[in-house]
Structure formats: C-alpha cells, structure tokens
Amino acid sequence: MPEKLNILVVEDDDALRDALQVTLQAAGHDVGSVDGGPAALEALRRKAFNMVVSDLRMSPMDGLTLLGEIRVRHPGLPVLLMTAFGDVDKAVAAMRGGACDFMLKPFEPKALIDQIARYATPPAPAAGVIAVDARTRDTLLLAARVARTDATVLLTGESGVGKEVFARYIHDQSARATGIFVAINCAAIPDTLLEATLFGYEKGAFTGALTAQAGKFEQANGGTLLLDEISEMPLGLQAKLLRVLQEREVERVGGKKPVPLDIRILATSNRDMAGEVRKGRFREDLFYRLNVFPLEIPPLRERPGDIVPLARKILAQMAAAARRVAGFAAAAEARLLAHSWPGNVRELENVVQRALILEPGEVIEAEGLRLDFKPAVPSAATSMAANAPPGTAQPLSPGCVPAATDVETPVTAGVPADMKTLERLHIQETLASVGGSRKKAVAILGISERTLRYKLNQYREEGLLNEREND
C-alpha cells in the first residue's frame, strides 16, 4: 500500500481539477484542490503538503509565478507542473526555476501517481531534530530530498544553529545509513596535524609516526565524512582536499599508493563562503566542488516555532541526569520566545542548563532563565597573585597557553576553577595588552590565527565576550 500523502492540486479547469482529485484519492492520498495561484498560497499557509501539482497556464497567476512564490516561502516543497505540448519551453524554464518535473497533457493516471511516489515521499522522523516551525520543516524536507542522492552538500548558517544535526540526518536518511558517519572539526585541529588527521600517514612519515594510521577519509569509506567548519582549512591543504574530491582517492602522508574512496562528503561553515572566496581565503574551485547542493540552516530567531519545543527537549534530557523538573512556567516560555538568541541552539542549551542549576523549585520561572546573565571576568594575573595559596601555580607566562582539561585546580575566591577558564582569561588579557591585534596576540600565545579565531568564536557563543571581534 503506497504511503498516504497530502497533495495540493492547482487547476483552474473545474472538470480536470475534479478528475485529478478523484484519481489521487483513489490512490490513497489526501487531496486539497484550488482553482488558482492565490488560493494555493493561502492553502499552503494553513496546512503542510507533501507536494503541489499545478497547471502551467492559469490566470491571473500562472504556474511559473506560483512556482517562484513557493520556492521563496516553502523552498523544500516539490512542485510538479502540468502543461500542454506547446508550453514545453516554459516547462523547461520551470525546471530550471526549481520544479521537480513536468508532465505533458494528456497523461495516464498511473504516470501521475508514479511521479508523486517519486518526488513527494515525506521525510522520515528526524531523531534529534525539532522541526515544529514551518521554516525548519522546509529545510528538513530539502535535507531529506538530497539525502536520497549522493550529492555533496554544503550546510551553512550561524554558529550554534545545528548544522551537524542536519548533517547527521542527511546521513541517516541516505543509502549509506548503515555505514559510518565521521565528523572532523577543521578549526579545532592545529594546522600541522590536520593533513595527517585527514589523509592518514605511513610509518616513519614524520617524527613520532611509529605506526601507519588511516586518516578520516579512509575511516569514512562506505559512509559519510563531515568536514565541519571547512572555511577554517588552510589554503595549502585546500588544494590537496580538492584533488581528493576530484579523484575520489587519497594518498597517506609519506605513502606512495593511492587508496580508492567510496564516501559521501558533507561540509559546514558559519561564514559567507562566496565572501571568503572573494577575499582570497578559500579556493574558488573547491567552493564549487563542495557547493553542489547548498543548504542554509536558518537561525533560531527566524524559526520561533522551534524555541519552546527545543527548550523542553533540552530540559528533559538535562533533568534526567540531574534532578526532576516539571518544566517551564508560562512566563518563562514567553521570555524564551521574546529573546533574540544570537547564539542560537547552543545559547539555548546554556540558558536551560544554567536555569536547571540555579532554579530551586520544580518549575523554571522567567527570572530563573537569567537571560541577562553576564559572568564576571576577573583579571587572571591579579586574582591569582592575590588569592592563590602557597604552592598554587602562578600566572601563565606569554606563549604558555594550557589546553582545556578536566584536572581540578584549587578553588579560592576569584580564582578560576578549571584550566579552560585560565586559557580564556589568558587569551583575553593577551589581546587586550596588544590593543586587540590578533597577529601580535598569536605571536605571543604561540598558536595560529585560525585557532585564535575559533576560540574567540567559542567564547562569543557562550556569552563570554561582550562584543564581536573584528574579522
């Protein structure tokens, strides 16, 4: 039995519209029918459909105009156009404009039913994805459609919008779902290690390479490789990545034998990739190789229907590991909706976690959200010198930036309780001492500018920077 779908028929000929409705209902589908473009847009506003089947010649709004409006308002919704033989040129133009296909009148009922089965299959339930808002549903529909292919997808959007969640969804809905999903953050790995991490290396390829090691490309064979924050990859490595994507084979560092690859590539970036190309920071040929199917994830403020459901889900997950909390008060949910969420879903997670820690009751009230919360940033040097007990490590010297670690440090008044906080304070103080110059700061800190930019982005998303740094 075919899956039951919601189909919208748009046809200004009453007899043909009725015939199409009967045909599709007989095939087990729910059918809405309207007599023109304006009525179709109103129907789409009120209800979610899996597909639109529209005539091309209509008045006052023809099928091409309706298609354009649907592409803007519901970008993931498939549109099938019906046309007479003399309108084939227009139908081809419609395909270029985003129609999934067109059918020449007259056609057999089975041909229409087959086209609907091909294009209108709804996305499967998305584990981990909240898609209550219409914009998120449209984005999810696009993700589901491209998942059925092996096309390379470039997911873009602000930091914290959930690009990796959508990437995992594409993998889970693809023919590679039984294969491995491998993700690598191109911004979090030092330049000197990124090549070996991606491509692997042979024994003796460099000092410390005591054994051969497969890289992320080889590890992802048969599955999907996610190149997270691809825009942070150094230019020199971009050329090598381009060759791998073109040849579909990888050569380990120090190796001589190429390894064939059978993988699907997904990439993410929180930057304007076309702008990065114009500035000379990203290769144009690699951009076009990755941008086969662009998928933009809208920021949380543009999908308000997801805010409260996301907050409830996050609270349920965190409360299960901490303590039982009934949920949010109505005023708290209203406050969540009123917030602009510059840090997107990641900021929402932080707010919920903070409220769960600080709220003493069983229901989180509006005041408990502490959306105006700004952590104090003490001077690392002065606080440690003044408050550290004998034997406590003294302030870090320039060029000595510790990595984040779980090792506990003594907690005294004004002393940061973990190494990650020490690292952040040292970076901020170093930047302040050189007037905000990143080039001077990285020379003192002993890290790359790319690593510094990544860390500053992290601090900004966590609400630990008061204003955005200049790029």
The per-residue pLDDT for range 191-240, each reduced to its tens digit, is 778 888 999 988 888 877 788 889 899 999 999 999 999 999 999 899 99
pLDDT higher than 60, residue 412: no
What does the block give as tokens for 220? 């992802």
Phi/psi at 343 (5° precision): -95, 5
For each of the domains in the chain, give its residue range(s) and CATH number, in order of start.
6-119 (3.40.50.2300), 134-296 (3.40.50.300), 300-369 (1.10.8.60), 389-461 (no CATH)
In this predicted model, what pLDDT tens digit does every residue of 51-76 receive, in sequence order? 999 998 898 899 989 999 998 888 77
Q: Select from 209, 214, 159 the least CA-distant residue to 187.
A: 159
- Write out pLDDT tens, residues 277-296: 999 999 999 999 999 999 99
Q: Reduced to 3 states, what is the DSSP secondary structure of residue 333?
A: helix
Compute the distance between CA of residue 220 and CA of residue 62 in angstroms, rounded to an integer. Answer: 47
Could you give the C-alpha distances from 90 to 54, 94, 105, in angstroms and in order? 14, 6, 14
Residue 456 phi, psi dihedral angles, 5° rounding: -65, -40
Looking at per-residue pLDDT, the higher value among 284 and 373 belongs to 284
Per the prediction, the chain carries an average pLDDT of 82
CA angle 288, 291, 293 (to 5 degrees): 140
Please, is 47 exposed, middle or buried when counting C-beta atoms within 10 Å of its C-beta (0-12, 13-18, 19+)?
exposed
In this predicted structure, what is the pLDDT of residue 220?
95
Query: Is 300 or 452 the better-scoring residue by pLDDT?
Result: 300
Q: How far apart are CA 443 and CA 362, in angstroms?
A: 50
State yes or no: pLDDT of 166 exceeds 50: yes
Give 16-56 pLDDT, tens digit per residue.
999 999 999 999 999 999 999 999 999 999 988 989 999 98
What is this structure's pTM?
0.66
In 3D space, the residue among 442, 448, 455 whose CA is nearest the CA of residue 234 turns out to be 448
Q: Does residue 391 have a pLDDT over 80?
A: no
Locate 89 and state its tokens.
């040129």
